[in-house]
Structure 1
């Protein structure tokens, strides 16, 4: 620190901010100052402070002023540009200094205090300014706001003009010392992005309150006391009419209650009343504790089926409407999620109120992450690292205080988190000590404290399945300090981040969930993450797309790493979310001996809110169905039921059992599917292979039934008069993010080195016999001696042509294959696809739980998944048959017994080269892959790769298909 600070570089720059207090709904008057403000943008922080007076007229630069909404980010409104980095600071690491080129926004607006306000004091509240703001009222400085996603309040009573117009002015800097504390894997976006409110405080107002609502599960009894701080030392009373409670604040009331849980979010309406103010209370009774290394709420172990959530909207960034918040929670509930981690800062206070009402467990996280120190070696105590440097202690503890004090009355919050990816250090200990003293009723979390010195739960991120298995057994690698090691082994364990959902993936969800459910110590986890953070953008000709890092000309960025959510930016569920819903379903089914076992996997409720049905299908056709009688099965219990006997008749018969909501809820209507299971009761008979027709030669072609082949190469030219591009061997998929070189188990470089992206097939022999046409060859790769000995054997009957494929590996293979199969092409008009097999969504070997067996129909366009960065997508696994139709003619393909398929309007090479969806342009062909399989997906972009059993090893492949017309 060898030069003078600018004020925005002070380690603890906040000035005149009032002590933090609880979020409340009150009858005290308030005035929203949201709306259009005058705005001026400057490229650095030293613009003249010439905008504080009653009018702008006569001030220099008045023409530079325009308007900007509050709340909003200026980069999304034509001033500057967004920047995306994941774990690097977009400026030199020289704490607490920031660049002299510090974009700055000046804001001003006028307001008048309503004449009917009968108040003693007036406060000014800012719910979010990124990254630092200085406030003036009527030309006098009010104070300085730091902590972008934290609430700040100021007493402006002495500065207000009650009987005339007031001028509020704010200067906001993009960079400040706080930027070192807010490196949170998101877009760097600036401005007043949460609401601004004027608050009237009457005589006798309630300054703060703390609701303590404990629950004794053994007694079925709640204990309620409410601490209240009232102006002037006056008294207050707590009234909960439904419970017959009317006591003084601070007095303890005990009464029988229904507890609050994420599954049954029971809230009691009450009020806290003083002589000057009434605050509405929404009380949820619950107890959070650790017992026998289990995370328990209300006496019962809970399993967190969670996700990490940033505030995000593709049009407004971190400016989030209540409708968007509610939609997020409703979708989480509908997809069987029961928990959310507020990564990596506290959300809008209204979001937590909605979690209270609708029911989610919440890990509420402090506005703190210093990930940018990781690339410059934070583990070796780099000078200035805020977690360790004592000069930062005040700022860090202040951030924790403002988190806890605002959100302390929310029953959904069961855990505080100190922050994310800040290394270790004594300042985290100071934060933890303050939080535990202030609120011992909640657990404390911080993932990087692997010693568990400061926390109540052991947490990691992106652990492998193997590591998770060991932790479940308390067999993880020991910590050097024996006492801390013993303490840690008696703690619950959770994965605060897992199954990184970047691009196509993740795989391995089901295996994680099986481990969570096997070991009582494992408390579940939070997937990374909820939303893809693509910003809605348009090409020069108006085509919409969602932008990621680098699309705004950033000098340094982390590309599409911002697109790692299970919901697309437009709010559409990704295939991963459907997979997650199935894996997390709270009711499970297993089938054996003509009976079905139904297990209640809820933590706190029976199954009386669900209705159970069964359906029987044969080759996809509905045969029978009805209701299934399931008693009000208690949490954790299992019942075994008889199911209807299989119907007589031909075809593969499949029994499906479903659990649906019996009545409307706040988050889904009656009939919404919560869980399902399937069993094949009668397996399918093998489809016949075409045979009996001999090949013959016509000019330069070989004719076999309805198929015509090139006489020299044996390549297919047409099927029943349909022009085709001959099937060619395909060993490539457009690399998914989990394959790429930055992943934990990179495959792409080795795949390209071998040449799997450009396979070369050499025909060695074309052999005609009485019963078949056989093409023998070698599949090779440029510059490599690896390959496959191949045989394509064609047979035909009067109305069908069959192809048997055999490929045997040559050479010393050392890597799994991306895919193995054949690719052919049809005219573009063959755009309607039907199939019988798992569906309707895409599925892969390690991501197939959500695909249910049935008959499905989609257009070619509907079979594509629009990942923000184009990559392999749209695979349908284990199809029994599929067909492509142009509306007049249909080509049906039977598999012997199953085949994976994709159908696209472009080749895999085109998909591989595209950087955005608008780079993909349809060809005049429909490209059809018929594959033996693909490697699984894994979550290697930030986590473990594909499990061994789900890799496509270079073994001998044998499979067959039959084309019918």
Structure 2
């Protein structure tokens, strides 16, 4: 069936659809936290309990000043804590009155809850609406037609129990490694539709144009009739002849099938979406119509080969994401869902795992529209639902989400939180028969093991089983994710059986405690695991991942050689030619207050197929006076990578305005050799370097030149010279070099050459979120200016000392390291960072202690510009 040819049956389509009624929706709550509706409320325990008041719906009641805060694993029994404190078991009692239109009298009316934590008992006008629902993250409904008063007010009452009466629900949901909340945390609405109606649909739309849809009916669909399906555009204009099928009396479902041509396929790079309008016309009854959005695509798991989308092998570059907001808990707005998806895309990721539960539907809609591959997950963190509960909840999960083209896999729980008896339930509901994963285990031909050390990672990457860690490089504080990633990815990208990986985790899950004046609480070191802060603040690892996983790889020499004519580039898209990209060349020098642009040029991307390499010719010769080049690649409306290189010699830092230059100040103190070795989580001095020599020479302008050398042979994690400068003297800095974020030995990527400036901050990653951090180590620098009470201390790098260091970097609660005080240091070796589970030795070659030998030299020029 071709979309280019429209037979004269279009009139028949219109006739079949004429008079068809769509489901009418009326919200009883807000659609999100931004427009929540007040309901009457009483909390039975904890803060503000025992009194009737109001609460916004949807919301988490802890964030509205009620109840008790719990973090799941604090209440999980363990060998060290066999009798943990009990979970808070307060109840929330909700009351709300509403009216329904009189014309709904002849329709079926259902009451829909998109998510309630956790047991929900519902009554309407004093009568039970249905069985107590157990399971926090799943959409459920009750048919309340027979309970309604169509002439007056209706009284809705909901009792929500934070702790479930079903212990398997508590094991799966309430004892996880995340914050627990209570409440009606997702929207509530009424749906009215004909008595004989479409219950739900499942669509399987393949890359070859083959289309199959199962249209499921409720119990009232026992009469004969007909169902049709028509492709429509976003304005509901019909784009195809109808697919049609007769429905015999008593049928539970009907199947439509056909084939379409000339389709734009769905991928994460080309998220082309289509819409199908289904109409059910029962004999003698009112037609009912629903419209579903979907994408044409074919996804395959080929054992010992790879993941294929539309016949092309793909790699999932992913991150785990909680549904979380520091102010509203698990109650998320549509705007935040789209903002999170855009931020993940900005990082050059193409995949996201739902950890550890079904997300808000609008997040999946964002993934469909913006282009992200999804692993959708049944809840279960090291604890599983019992079989009846898991069976029921899988049906709810799949029925809601089956038509999202972004979803490639279903996850049955996480890290042992799977009940193998319910693995087959996904296929009963999923017309696409997607594969099911057990994250942390080998299942469905995919090894998803978590947090592999380097040697095991290399072994698993070698196959023959497909390898895709669904959690790796744990991002606690400033460790993990970007730290050690270059080594891990270099192994992964060379393997034909590595099909991707998912970082832990997207955002620090710190909650703004309403019982502590809004203090962000990370539950110690349990929740600050993100690559961004709780409000989206970008850590240094964000840009490391963005560079390493950029689909446009640019290679520049550190210094452009004479006769240089262009950059090496590689297209690491899987479906997109680089002709769709663009590039901007900027030739710059450092000016008195920042960067000065010498010359710039824009350039269209070359024709370069996915996986191919080539040369991007420079549109300009290196202009006179340029000190560095910055080359930026743009694709899909955003920056995908920035590369930079020195063009040649660099001038000394420009003097401060109206300054009176002088030599180094007395408070700078005398330099000493700094040689440290990491011992577990501390840094200890190693045997002193021998033959240290420090030669000071006054220059004609009053500046002081320092030439130094020392001999050191052996292992070192920190090596260079240090001045004992107190942090209290440092007010701001400006430097020409690679920045603006600090680096570790095993996280060097992610910055660019330029003039970077910032005021002093004393940031503690995972506890405060002032990024970039002022303190730490910084690389590839040519000059450094430090604002002190006496003026600007200017330091020029005369000999290419690779790093400078400042202060004592802070770490979080129970930190990864007790960092050394770097004072003001100039370093040849800087430390590698660890992650939550692995020391640097376990993370690969780039992370290991350096072995150095011989004489170590450097030359620096100091000048104090007094105001």
For the 8 Å contact 2:578–2:608, the answer to whether it is kept is yes
Distance in 2, matches of 1:226 and 1:606, equals 36
Show the counterpart of 1:254. 259
Question: Judging changes above 3 Å, is the alpha-carbon distance between structure 1 residues 71 and 157 closer, same or farther for their aligned structure 2 residues?
Answer: same
1:853 to 2:827 alignment? no
1:152 to 2:140 alignment? yes
Show the counterpart of 2:695. 794
For the 8 Å contact 1:932–1:959, the answer to whether it is kept is no
Distance in 2, matches of 1:615 and 1:101, equals 58
Distance in 2, matches of 1:469 and 1:499, equals 14
Q: Which runs of 5+ in 2 are unaligned?
A: 1-19, 30-36, 233-237, 246-254, 282-286, 558-563, 654-660, 816-820
Q: CA deviation at 1:114?
A: 2.4
Give the alignment partner of residue 225 of structure 1, picking from 213, 219, 222.
Answer: 213
For the 8 Å contact 2:63–2:513, the answer to whether it is kept is no
**Residues 337-387 of structure 1: CA deviation (Å, up to 9, x unaligned):** 11110111010112111211111111101122235xxxxxxxxxxxxxx47
Distance in 1, matches of 2:322 and 2:49, equals 37
Show the counterpart of 2:658. none
Q: Please give the secondary structure, in 2, of the residue aligned with 1:898.
A: coil
1:193 to 2:185 alignment? yes
Q: CA deviation at 1:537?
A: 4.8
Show the counterpart of 1:634. 609
Distance in 1, matches of 2:531 and 2:49, equals 46
Q: Please give the secondary structure, in 1, of the residue aligned with 2:529.
A: coil
Distance in 1, matches of 2:22 and 2:790, equals 69
Question: Judging changes above 3 Å, is the alpha-carbon distance between structure 1 residues 598 and 518 closer, same or farther for their aligned structure 2 residues?
Answer: same
Question: Judging changes above 3 Å, is the alpha-carbon distance between structure 1 residues 877 and 833 closer, same or farther for their aligned structure 2 residues?
Answer: same
Q: Please give the secondary structure, in 1, of the residue aligned with 2:579.
A: coil
Show the counterpart of 2:863. 964
Q: CA deviation at 1:890?
A: 2.8
Show the counterpart of 1:472. 461
Give the alignment partner of residue 657 of structure 1, picking from 623, 631, 634.
Answer: 631
Q: CA deviation at 1:274?
A: 2.2
1:458 to 2:447 alignment? yes
1:290 to 2:301 alignment? yes
Q: CA deviation at 1:469?
A: 2.8
> Normalising by structure 2, what TM-score?
0.81
Show the counterpart of 2:32. none
Question: Judging changes above 3 Å, is the alpha-carbon distance between structure 1 residues 610 and 647 closer, same or farther for their aligned structure 2 residues?
Answer: closer
Q: CA deviation at 1:938?
A: 3.6
Give the alignment partner of residue 413 of structure 2, picking from 414, 419, 423.
Answer: 419
1:609 to 2:580 alignment? yes
> Normalising by structure 1, what TM-score?
0.73
Give the alignment partner of residue 835 of structure 2, picking from 922, 927, 939.
Answer: 939
Show the counterpart of 1:579. 544
Show the counterpart of 2:271. 265
Distance in 2, matches of 1:367 and 1:190, equals 16
Distance in 2, matches of 1:146 and 1:105, equals 15
Question: Judging changes above 3 Å, is the alpha-carbon distance between structure 1 residues 37 and 539 closer, same or farther for their aligned structure 2 residues?
Answer: closer
Distance in 2, matches of 1:163 and 1:943, equals 69
Distance in 2, matches of 1:93 and 1:72, equals 35
Question: Judging changes above 3 Å, is the alpha-carbon distance between structure 1 residues 747 and 86 closer, same or farther for their aligned structure 2 residues?
Answer: farther
For the 8 Å contact 1:844–1:875, the answer to whether it is kept is yes
Give the alignment partner of residue 321 of structure 1, picking from 328, 333, 336.
Answer: 333
Show the counterpart of 2:801. 898
For the 8 Å contact 2:467–2:498, the answer to whether it is kept is yes
Question: Judging changes above 3 Å, is the alpha-carbon distance between structure 1 residues 203 and 70 closer, same or farther for their aligned structure 2 residues?
Answer: same
Q: Please give the secondary structure, in 2, of the residue aligned with 1:598.
A: strand
Distance in 1, matches of 2:814 and 2:850, equals 29
1:570 to 2:565 alignment? no
Count matched residues. Answer: 774
Give the alignment partner of residue 29 of structure 1, picking from 9, 24, 33.
Answer: 24
Distance in 1, matches of 2:78 and 2:67, equals 16
Distance in 1, matches of 2:575 and 2:622, equals 38
Show the counterpart of 1:130. 117
Q: CA deviation at 1:399?
A: 2.5
Q: CA deviation at 1:312?
A: 0.5
Q: CA deviation at 1:623?
A: 4.0
Show the counterpart of 1:235. 226
Give the alignment partner of residue 949 of structure 1, picking from 842, 846, 857.
Answer: 846
**Residues 858-911 of structure 1: CA deviation (Å, up to 9, x unaligned):** 2234x95754169995432232221124699432112231243344xxx528x4
Question: Judging changes above 3 Å, is the alpha-carbon distance between structure 1 residues 645 and 76 closer, same or farther for their aligned structure 2 residues?
Answer: closer
**Residues 643-688 of structure 1: CA deviation (Å, up to 9, x unaligned):** 357537578x544432214xxx6xxxx4x311233344x5548999
For the 8 Å contact 1:26–1:280, the answer to whether it is kept is no
For the 8 Å contact 2:415–2:441, the answer to whether it is kept is no
Q: CA deviation at 1:725?
A: 5.3
Equivalence map 1:37-76=2 (5 Å): 37-43=39-45, 64-76=51-63
Moved more, 574-583 or 243-252: 243-252
Distance in 2, matches of 1:637 and 1:229, equals 50
Q: Please give the secondary structure, in 1, of the residue aligned with 2:379.
A: coil
Show the counterpart of 1:431. 422
Distance in 1, matches of 2:446 and 2:280, equals 39
Q: Please give the secondary structure, in 2, of the residue aligned with 1:884.
A: strand
**Residues 483-523 of structure 1: CA deviation (Å, up to 9, x unaligned):** xxxxxx3x432121112111113212222332332122111
For the 8 Å contact 1:212–1:225, the answer to whether it is kept is yes
Distance in 2, matches of 1:632 and 1:431, equals 49
Distance in 2, matches of 1:891 and 1:62, equals 59
1:116 to 2:103 alignment? yes
Question: Judging changes above 3 Å, is the alpha-carbon distance between structure 1 residues 829 and 421 closer, same or farther for their aligned structure 2 residues?
Answer: closer
Show the counterpart of 1:214. 206
Distance in 2, matches of 1:416 and 1:348, equals 16
1:598 to 2:585 alignment? no
Show the counterpart of 1:312. 324
Show the counterpart of 2:15. none
1:517 to 2:490 alignment? no
Q: Which runs of 5+ in 1 are unaligned?
A: 1-24, 45-60, 372-385, 475-488, 550-558, 689-704, 708-718, 734-738, 740-745, 757-779, 781-785, 917-924
Q: CA deviation at 1:528?
A: 0.8
Question: Judging changes above 3 Å, is the alpha-carbon distance between structure 1 residues 201 and 650 closer, same or farther for their aligned structure 2 residues?
Answer: closer
Distance in 2, matches of 1:879 and 1:395, equals 59
Distance in 2, matches of 1:259 and 1:848, equals 38
1:180 to 2:145 alignment? no
For the 8 Å contact 2:409–2:437, the answer to whether it is kept is yes
Q: CA deviation at 1:852?
A: 1.4
